[in-house]
Structure formats: C-alpha cells, structure tokens
Structure 1
Amino acid sequence: MGCALSGTGLDPGKAAGDVNGPVPRSEAAGSELIASDSDPPLPLSEQQKELIRQSWVVLHQDIARVGIIMFIRLFETHPECKDVFFLFRDIDDLQQLKMSKELQSHGLRVMSFIEKSVARLEQEDKLEQLAFELGRSHCRYNAPPKYYEYVGVQFIAVVKPILKEKWTANVEEAWEGLFDYLTWTMKRGYHDAEQSNNINQSSHTKRRAQSGLKANQNAV
C-alpha cells in the first residue's frame, strides 16, 4: 500500500496465507509487500481479523508516535518518497522532521485510515469503498501507486517492538494480508481515477478542436 497518503501536504503538481504460522511474506519478499494489480489478495480469515483487532487495541494507545516513526523510517529507506510531499521535500534533517507539526498531522491521518480499516473488517463493502476512494484521491495529488506498499512494510517494522511478545508470525501474516488488500484496492482506485481523467481530457481536447474547426468555418 500503500502509501496511505492523504491530500493535505501532498504536492498537487507532482491476503494472508495459512494462519498456522507460515514464513512472513515481508521476509520472503525482501521486506517489501507486493500487491498484484490484477489478482486480488486472498481474503483474511476470521482468526486473522481477530488478531488484527486485538493488536490494534494495544497500538491505538500510541498511534501518534507510530505515525511519526513510520514516516521517518519511510523517508530513511525510500528518500524518493519525499518528492511527493512538498512540505517535507527540502528537509534533510530527520530530527527536524520528527518535530514537524505537519508530519505529525499527516502521520495521524494515516493512522486514522488504518483505524477505520480495522473497524470495517466485518464490513467488506465499506472497507473496499474506503480504500478505493483513498486511491482515487491519491491520483489527484500524483502520489504514485508504487509507494503504497511501502507504508505497510514500515508500519509492521514499527509496531513489532511495541507489541513485543504479542507480536507473532501469525499476527504479522494477518497485518500483511490487510495491507495487501488495502494496497491492491487503492491501486484500483488510483487507476480508475486516472482513466476517468484521461477520458475527460480527451473529451475536452475534442471539444476544443471541434470549436476551433467551427470558428474557422464561420470565418470563411
């Protein structure tokens, strides 16, 4: 996914497998989740949904700190992501970034999206709509889909030490499955908005061409 980026601060010019404990996909894929643009991820099991809800109860107590650390790690591991954020693009000092009110606000918005996603685990139509519309909004701000999956990777890296012994391979697999789904759905939303924009631009260009042709004919 993600990236789960929201509008403010972006530059407008610019499923889980076996719950019995398989090797986490973030390790198997070189710590990078991959969501296919064509094949939907496997659905989460009821056990996995419950694991996500249980761990979120603990994480919710520290969401502001998780949001900040998640983005600092994101900019450390993928500095090119800063190009999407005009507010942070020219800040190279990570300590200065940690103190940024704008980054704190953006981190909280991303965590709010994750919270809403967890709350909709049993309402798949609402969860899909939430992620799909977020993907569409990313298209307006030119936040490329290639960044979305990085958010899930960094989220997992941050929350592992917070949950300590409560973090297991099964919990990791459950969260990976959720982020796979969110990323996949956001990409669908992005491409849907992109296609709509292309159609609208094509129609606008055609109307202008027809208007110009009509004006030339009247001038003859």
Structure 2
Amino acid sequence: MGCAISGSGLTARAPEIRAGEEETPAGLTANHIRLIKESWRLIQEDIAKVGIIMFVRLFETHPECKDVFFLFRDVEDLERLRTSRELRAHGLRVMSFIEKSVARLDQLERLETLALELGKSHYRYNAPPKYYGYVGAEFICAVRPILKDRWTPELEEAWKTLFQYVTSIMREGFLEEERNKRSNTQTSSRERPDKRSTAI
C-alpha cells in the first residue's frame, strides 16, 4: 500500500504549540492553517484525481468500508472502481467538503456547524464514526505524491490535526442524531394509545 499512516484513524497526540503561535480552539495553530491553505491551492488542481485515489485506497485498505456504500458493496475490481462515475462523484463531494473546511479555518464556528451537520447526515446514511478517520489517512496518502517535496512533517501534522478535529465533530453530530432518533422512537411509542384502555 505504501502509506505508513494508512488506517491509523489519525489518533496522533495534540500538536505542540511553538513559540510565537497561538492555539485556536481546534488545536490548529496559525502555522497549521497557513500550511493547509497554501497546500490546498496546489491540491485543488487535482481535486477529482485525489478523490478517486482516496476512495480506491480506502476500499483497498479497509474493504469493510464498502458496506456503507451501497453502489460499491459488491465491486471487487479496483479498476472498475477507478473508472466509476459514481465513485468520482462521491469523491468530488468529499473533496468539496474538505474545500469548505479549508475556507472556514478562520471561522471555526462555521466549520463546526458544517462538520456537525455532516455527522448527522452520516447517521442517516448508516455510516458509523469508526470509518471517518480512515478517510483523512487516505487523503494524506493521496496528496503526498502530488505535493512531492512540498510535503513536510509540519504539513502532515497540520492536515492530521484538521481531520482529527473535523472527524471528532462529525462523531458528535452522528451521536446527537442517534440520540434524537432514539428519543423520538421512545416518545412515539409512549404516545400510541393502548388499545385495551380505550376499548369500551
């Protein structure tokens, strides 16, 4: 596979703050944000390619993830995946989310709202949080060769921190939606009239 962090779930420790840097609520430093934005300008040029590489690698390294994707569940041929219009479209949707996340790095409240809503929608898609970290790991593996010598340990740490932050909020959204669904189900079952008590 060739990527050392593949499947790690991006559970690296919180980054250390260097002298002269301020920590944001996300654990992202001003330097992280600068590095992410600079690298994103280059990544954008290959956005569709990165999306496809990311998901083909994801299914290759974590085939259990295909269970979440109805369209790809039974596809074993990786070449068929690489040329799939549906996979390309989904990859572009994920890359669009990453693009929006990068654009909101200076507005963390808006980024949190975006990630929370995405987590809630993943509950409705039946895509559990255990898979979220894998996407970040595969994104890093996909962009590293594109950025070549521009890829540095600091840049990797910045992207890891961003994905860790976003996936933790997505997880909150997923769990919140799960609790709401459970609560609504319990409420509606209590509100149903008991046929025995209403019979005359």
TM-score, normalised to structure 1's length? 0.81
Q: Which residue of 1 aligns with 2:161?
A: 177
What is the Cα deviation at residue 218 of structure 1?
3.4
CA distance in 1, matches of 2:117, 2:123: 10
What is the Cα deviation at residue 43 of structure 1?
1.3
Question: What secondary structure does 1:143 align onto?
Answer: coil
What is the Cα deviation at residue 178 of structure 1?
0.2
Q: Which residue of 2 aligns with 1:219?
A: 199
Question: What secondary structure does 1:121 align onto?
Answer: coil
Aligned length: 186
Q: Which residue of 1 aligns with 2:10?
A: 33
Correspondence for 2:123 among 112, 130, 139: 139
Q: Mind listing any 5+ residue stretches in structure 2 that lack a counterpart? A: 14-24
Question: What secondary structure does 2:70 align onto?
Answer: coil
| Letter matched to residue 80 of structure 2 | Q
* Contact kept in structure 2, 1:35 and 1:181, CA below 8 Å: no
Correspondence for 1:97 among 57, 63, 81: 81
Distance 1:63 1:32, change over 3 A: same
Distance 1:185 1:218, change over 3 A: closer
CA distance in 1, matches of 2:191, 2:7: 49
| Letter matched to residue 198 of structure 2 | N
* Contact kept in structure 1, 2:8 and 2:134, CA below 8 Å: no
What is the Cα deviation at residue 219 of structure 1?
2.1
* Contact kept in structure 2, 1:75 and 1:81, CA below 8 Å: yes
TM-score, normalised to structure 2's length? 0.89
Equivalences for residues 118-157 of structure 1 within 5 A? 118-157=102-141
What is the Cα deviation at residue 42 of structure 1?
5.4
CA distance in 1, matches of 2:185, 2:161: 36
CA distance in 2, matches of 1:195, 1:78: 28
| Letter matched to residue 9 of structure 2 | E
Q: Which residue of 1 aligns with 2:68?
A: 84
Q: Mind listing any 5+ residue stretches in structure 1 that lack a counterpart? A: 1-25
Question: What secondary structure does 1:65 align onto?
Answer: helix
CA distance in 2, matches of 1:155, 1:182: 14
Query: Could you list the runs of 4 or more consecutive aligned residues of structure 1 that deviate by over 4 angstroms after TM superposition?
Result: none
Does 2:35 correspond to 1:58?
A: no
- Structural RMSD (CA): 1.8
* Contact kept in structure 1, 2:33 and 2:105, CA below 8 Å: yes
CA distance in 2, matches of 1:206, 1:149: 38
Does 2:189 correspond to 1:201?
A: no
Correspondence for 1:187 among 168, 171, 177: 171
What is the Cα deviation at residue 30 of structure 1?
7.4
Q: 1:188-208 CA distances to partner (integer Å, 9 max, x unpaired)? A: 000000000000000011112
Q: Whose relative contact order is higher, 1 or 2, with alpha carbons under 8 Å and at least 6 apart?
A: 1
CA distance in 2, matches of 1:153, 1:99: 22
Question: What secondary structure does 2:105 align onto?
Answer: coil
| Letter matched to residue 119 of structure 1 | A
